[in-house]
A and B are shown apart, each in its own frame.
Chain A
Amino acid sequence: MTPLLELTAASKSFGPTRALTELNFQLLPGEVHALVGENGAGKSTALGLMYGVIAPDTGSVTVGSQAQQFRSTADARAAGVACVFQELSLAGGLTVAENIFAGHPRQRLGLVDWPRQRTDAAALLDEFELDIDVRKTVDSLAVSARQVVEIAKALSLDARILLLDEPTSALAPDEVDALFAIIEKLKARGIGILYVSHHLSEIFRISDRITVMRDGRKIATHHTAETTEKEIVSQMVGRLATAERVRNKRPIGEPMFRAQEMGLPGIYDDLTFDVRAGEIVGLAGLLGSRSKLIARAVAGLLPPSVGSMELGGATFAPRSLRDAIEAGIAFVPEERKTEGLFLGESNLGNLAAANLKRFRHFGLFQRKAAAEATQDAIGQLEIKTSGPEQPTGALSGGNQQKVLLAKWLETQPRLLVLNEPTKGVDIGAKLKIHEELERCASGGMAILVASSDFHELLALCDRILVVRDGRIVGETDPANFNEDDLLSVASGVQPAPAPDLEGSPS
């Protein structure tokens, strides 16, 4: 079979950094070819070459039988390559139909042919058997529907090659199933799909072949049926890493945080739970379960209108995040780029942002003390950076996440609240972050983690609270529970096993 797309000995450097070294890669018709690797392994660069965002220094990109020199994404699209990016690339105020044909509207004499554009857009969406009104604005759609519009947009040019970059990052587990059904259809039509993802379980479900990259090089290409998750992980990390860590037993202390029938109409309701000193408690919920809003509530961002909270035995009634921080809470938000970090600032500046009080002496900022603290955090969390002065925006996603965690750990909180602590980070960084959270818990910190990555919660938590519609519908012990059980409780397919809504026994 002739490959649809082929990279031959493609190399690319950015300044002194070698991003890609002699990469050979083939995408065959009708296959789903997964590209995996840690952040910084060169996946994004490879994707950029295939979609004309960047040009290789040496080596070539071949589409069909023709060597290509893409000067822009427009060239790549003309050659039949389409790409769906991790961050949705739709214009919210415009209609679905207009977004699908962005950049190449159906037109006649320079004017947009609206009726034909609507019909064609509806025809594209019809193949996915989804009921989306093409006259609606994208803003009015659910995130998952937007993802489908994004794929339809990619396919609107009769693409033969579809590049998917983390396509499930915005999807709930059941929506992932719907997406995979669509991918199967595209495969059957002979379209070649490059699938970039951090989720190995998804990759093993959907892919035919897997190419592992590390440090800008291809390590191996496997037939999915002939390899194991363990092998892939160890090739990604470059050492024999076990995906399952050994759980350390920690002493669990007195309740640090307690919620009593806490509620806020329309957001969450009747929450009664506690988090003990030295304990890591998970909030598990599907997209729309509002589990992350509960984490925000505890951090003072969505204060309850009924019920009460206690922190360290005293009444805790924050009206704002400032109040919560004052009381000894730290909150690590979900979106590190928009909510968590100042990307243009140095690591030192980011760390100091939440700790200005600590690094203040007679009203003056103590730069040296902050630099020392930053250096300590870099060592402790194994942050890959040139030092405290490097802008955080220049780091890889995993290392940015570590800086974000360090920023809040530096406040030495009694209760640490985290939303999606390892979203979009590589396995190495994920393991390090988990290790650090466990270390903090061993020191007596109480930790509350909201995550839609159930695998993560099961690996990390001492106790998991399952959330649906802003309520706690069950409590589980990770030791005798697996991902499927958790999913079925969270989606409401199966009632919770012996729900213990009164909190854990004291």
Chain B
Amino acid sequence: MTIAISSGQDRSSLLEKIARTRELTLLALIALIIVAMTFASPHFLSVANFRAISIGMTPNAIIVIGMAILLASGGFDLSVGSVMALSSTVVALLLLAGWSIPMAVAAALLVGACTGLVNGGLVTGFGINPLVATLGTMSIARGIALVMTEGFSVSSLPAEFGAVGKASLAGLPVLFWLTITMVIAFDLAVRHSAFFRQVYFIGANERAAALSGIAVSRVRIVAYVITGILAALAGVLLASRLMSGTPTAGSGLELQVLAAAVIGGASLKGGEGTILGAFLGVVFVALINNAMTMLAVSVYWQMIIIGAVLVIAVALDMMMRRRAG
């Protein structure tokens, strides 16, 4: 008797494969927006505008790296916006208290690492649903930031602290280059490092990952800590750019970042998505926002459009999967 096991067949065409690679779809859409906007508005294609876009999206682009890793592991983190605000106030308060810049920054990052550790501990140690756990820490982190500052922004920071936030390299902000470098580094790490590949197994099938000898809890905690540190870094950079610590910064940011990551190919079910895709999701949303501003669409309408884009992107994806499956 011949061996009866076949490996199934792949019926999809090249076009469908391209459409299924989210990075390529997004790049095409981004190119489309740029071309369309170049014709629609004379101010769009200018160095000043691109500087503005790249600076504006820095916090989201840095934080989405962590969010994409968490989503791939089947978790997520709602506390990122609050942690960003908390770290921006921590670094500002410490600088006012006379700490050196490296020490103040390190302390702010440590705060981010700690909130990540708490999130990871709640999710793995107590088995609390990530929605509930990070909803709690979101509120707590924001509250601490507000308590420490009594709700006011912390300004009059030393001038040297603003250097990074305002510096340029090759005509573009240093913040932009830093973001790009981090995105590429994390994208490669997640694609190729033995440690981060484990994230996908956990997201796809947690029990199976554990039975394959993967230390599920440890990997999950590391993912939350990385996200916490990235959120704190975004807070430090924000403080540097604005020259103040803002306890109310980043409210609603967690949902923008989640939306961008999902548009970029991540799934709340876990096991999917790339850093590059999530970053392109952030770029895509930032461009749409910029385009609407250029076209003088009201901010209120912008919210409606972004919501519609998110839902349409996911609906199209589900349709394609159903056809492919």
Interface residues of A (CB under 8 A from B): 51, 53, 72-74, 77, 83, 85, 88-94, 98, 102-105, 107, 110-112, 114, 129-133, 136, 139-142, 144-145, 147-148, 153, 172, 174-175, 177-178, 181
101-127 of chain B: CB within 8 A of chain A: none
Contact B7 A133, beta carbon cutoff 8 Å: yes
Contact of A98 among B3, B197, B208 (CB under 8 A): B197
Residues of B within 8 A of A105 (CB): 194, 197
B45 to chain A, nearest CB (A): 38
Contact B194 A89, beta carbon cutoff 8 Å: no
Given the interface pairs A73-B211, A91-B208, the reply to whether A112 lies near B7 with Cβ below 8 Å is no
Given the interface pairs A103-B201, A112-B197, A174-B1, the reply to whether A89 lies near B211 with Cβ below 8 Å is yes
261-302 of chain B: CB within 8 A of chain A: 271-272
Given the interface pairs A77-B213, A91-B200, A112-B194, the reply to whether A175 lies near B8 with Cβ below 8 Å is no
Given the interface pairs A89-B212, A94-B200, the reply to whether A110 lies near B195 with Cβ below 8 Å is yes
Q: What is the chain B residue whose CB lies nearest that of A91?
A: B204
| 5 more CB-based (< 8 A) A-B contacts, given A73-B213, A103-B198 | A72-B213, A89-B211, A91-B203, A140-B7, A145-B5
Please report the C-alpha to C-alpha distance between residue A181 and residue B198 in the assembled complex, in whole angstroms.
32
Residues of A within 8 A of B212 (CB): 73, 89, 102-103, 153
Contact A93 B204, beta carbon cutoff 8 Å: yes
Q: What is the chain A residue whose CB lies nearest that of B12?
A: A140
Contact A178 B214, beta carbon cutoff 8 Å: no
Contact indicator per residue, chain B 1-40, by CB within 8 Å of chain A (1) or not (0):
1011111101000000000000000000000000000000
Given the interface pairs A91-B201, A102-B201, the reply to whether A111 lies near B6 with Cβ below 8 Å is no
Residues of A within 8 A of B3 (CB): 129-130, 178, 181
Contact B213 A103, beta carbon cutoff 8 Å: yes
Residues of A within 8 A of B209 (CB): 91, 102-103
Residues of B within 8 A of A98 (CB): 197
Residues of A within 8 A of B198 (CB): 103
Contact A74 B271, beta carbon cutoff 8 Å: no
Contact B271 A83, beta carbon cutoff 8 Å: no
Residues of A within 8 A of B7 (CB): 130-133, 136, 140-142, 145
Q: What is the chain A residue whose CB lies nearest that of B202?
A: A91
A105 to chain B, nearest CB (A): 5
Can you list 8 A-B pairs with a CB-CB distance of less than 8 A? A91-B203, A91-B209, A94-B200, A102-B209, A102-B212, A112-B193, A131-B6, A144-B4
Please report the C-alpha to C-alpha distance between residue A147 and residue B147 in the assembled complex, in whole angstroms.
57
Contact B200 A93, beta carbon cutoff 8 Å: yes
Residues of A within 8 A of B210 (CB): 73
Residues of B within 8 A of A102 (CB): 201, 208-209, 212, 214
A99 to chain B, nearest CB (A): 8
Please report the C-alpha to C-alpha distance between residue A175 and residue B7 in the assembled complex, in whole angstroms.
12
Residues of B within 8 A of A130 (CB): 3, 5, 7
Interface residues of B (CB under 8 A from A): 1, 3-8, 10, 192-195, 197-198, 200-201, 203-205, 207-215, 271-272, 325
Given the interface pairs A103-B212, A140-B8, A172-B4, the reply to whether A90 lies near B205 with Cβ below 8 Å is yes
Q: What is the chain A residue whose CB lies nearest that of B321?
A: A139
Please report the C-alpha to C-alpha distance between residue A133 and residue B7 in the assembled complex, in whole angstroms.
8
Q: What is the chain B residue whose CB lies nearest that of A53?
A: B211
Please report the C-alpha to C-alpha distance between residue A142 and residue B5 in the assembled complex, in whole angstroms.
8
Contact of A178 among B4, B200, B272 (CB under 8 A): B4
Please report the C-alpha to C-alpha distance between residue A232 and residue B198 in the assembled complex, in whole angstroms.
43
Please report the C-alpha to C-alpha distance between residue A261 and residue B212 in the assembled complex, in whole angstroms.
49
Contact of B205 among A73, A89, A133, A140 (CB under 8 A): A89
Interchain residue pairs A-B with the least CB separation, the first 3: A89-B208, A91-B204, A103-B212
Residues of B within 8 A of A74 (CB): 213, 215
Please report the C-alpha to C-alpha distance between residue A129 and residue B7 in the assembled complex, in whole angstroms.
12
Please report the C-alpha to C-alpha distance between residue A153 and residue B200 in the assembled complex, in whole angstroms.
16
Name the residue in A91, A114, A172, A178 with the highest tally of chain B Cβ atoms < 10 Å from its Cβ. A91
Contact B271 A175, beta carbon cutoff 8 Å: no
Residues of B within 8 A of A136 (CB): 7, 10
A333 to chain B, nearest CB (A): 19
Residues of A within 8 A of B208 (CB): 85, 88-91, 102
Please report the C-alpha to C-alpha distance between residue A53 and residue B213 in the assembled complex, in whole angstroms.
11
Q: What is the chain A residue whose CB lies nearest that of B208?
A: A89
Residues of B within 8 A of A53 (CB): 211
Q: What is the chain B residue whose CB lies nearest that of A150?
A: B208
B270 to chain A, nearest CB (A): 10
Contact B204 A94, beta carbon cutoff 8 Å: yes
Name the residue in B198, B207, B210 with the highest tally of chain A Cβ atoms < 10 Å from its Cβ. B210
Q: What is the chain B residue whose CB lies nearest that of A77?
A: B213
Given the interface pairs A107-B194, A110-B194, A112-B194, the reply to whether A89 lies near B207 with Cβ below 8 Å is yes
Q: What is the chain B residue whose CB lies nearest that of A287?
A: B4
Residues of A within 8 A of B211 (CB): 51, 53, 73, 83, 85, 89
Residues of A within 8 A of B213 (CB): 72-74, 77, 103-104
Residues of A within 8 A of B193 (CB): 110-112
B206 to chain A, nearest CB (A): 10
Please report the C-alpha to C-alpha distance between residue A111 and residue B325 in the assembled complex, in whole angstroms.
32
Please report the C-alpha to C-alpha distance between residue A77 and residue B215 in the assembled complex, in whole angstroms.
13
Residues of A within 8 A of B201 (CB): 91, 94, 102-103
Q: What is the chain A residue whose CB lies nearest that of B204?
A: A91
Residues of B within 8 A of A174 (CB): 1, 4
B185 to chain A, nearest CB (A): 13
Q: What is the chain A residue whose CB lies nearest that of B214?
A: A103
Q: What is the chain A residue whose CB lies nearest that of B215?
A: A74
Residues of B within 8 A of A91 (CB): 200-201, 203-205, 208-209, 271
A377 to chain B, nearest CB (A): 32
Q: What is the chain B residue whose CB lies nearest that of A131?
A: B7
Please report the C-alpha to C-alpha distance between residue A153 and residue B211 in the assembled complex, in whole angstroms.
11
Contact A145 B8, beta carbon cutoff 8 Å: yes
Please report the C-alpha to C-alpha distance between residue A74 and residue B195 in the assembled complex, in whole angstroms.
16
Please report the C-alpha to C-alpha distance between residue A314 and residue B207 in the assembled complex, in whole angstroms.
49
Residues of B within 8 A of A142 (CB): 5-8
Please report the C-alpha to C-alpha distance between residue A145 and residue B8 in the assembled complex, in whole angstroms.
8
Given the interface pairs A85-B211, A107-B194, A153-B212, the reply to whether A93 lies near B5 with Cβ below 8 Å is no
Please report the C-alpha to C-alpha distance between residue A142 and residue B4 in the assembled complex, in whole angstroms.
11
Contact A144 B204, beta carbon cutoff 8 Å: no
Please report the C-alpha to C-alpha distance between residue A140 and residue B10 in the assembled complex, in whole angstroms.
7
Please report the C-alpha to C-alpha distance between residue A386 and residue B257 in the assembled complex, in whole angstroms.
49
Residues of B within 8 A of A72 (CB): 213
A38 to chain B, nearest CB (A): 24
Given the interface pairs A73-B211, A91-B201, A110-B193, the reply to whether A144 lies near B1 with Cβ below 8 Å is no
Residues of A within 8 A of B195 (CB): 110
Name the residue in A103, A145, A178 with the highest tally of chain B Cβ atoms < 10 Å from its Cβ. A103
Residues of B within 8 A of A131 (CB): 6-7
Residues of A within 8 A of B6 (CB): 131, 142, 144-145
Q: What is the chain A residue whose CB lies nearest that of B9?
A: A140
Contact B272 A177, beta carbon cutoff 8 Å: no
Residues of A within 8 A of B215 (CB): 74
